[in-house]
Amino acid sequence: MPRNALYASIVFVLAVSAAVVSFVEGNWLGVIWVLLAGVSSNIAWFYLRKEKLARQADQA
């Protein structure tokens, strides 16, 4: 797993847990955490796919 994808996955997990805590406490600021989780998830998928395509190119 690429390092950037790993970091983005960690940020995703932390952002989701922060969003849950915010919503449980009744704080609507959790919406920002949900948006951050979405962005970090997309970044993780991007780097995972980039590595997969690079491996396929090396094999060809």
Token couple for 8: 């983005």
pLDDT at 60 over 90: no
pTM over 0.85: yes
For 19-55, write each residue's pLDDT tens digit.
999 999 999 999 999 999 999 999 999 999 999 999 9
Domain segments of the chain as ranges: 2-58
Distances in whole angstroms, Cα of residue 50 to Cα of each of 26, 56, 57: 39, 10, 11
Residue type at 10 in one-letter notation: I
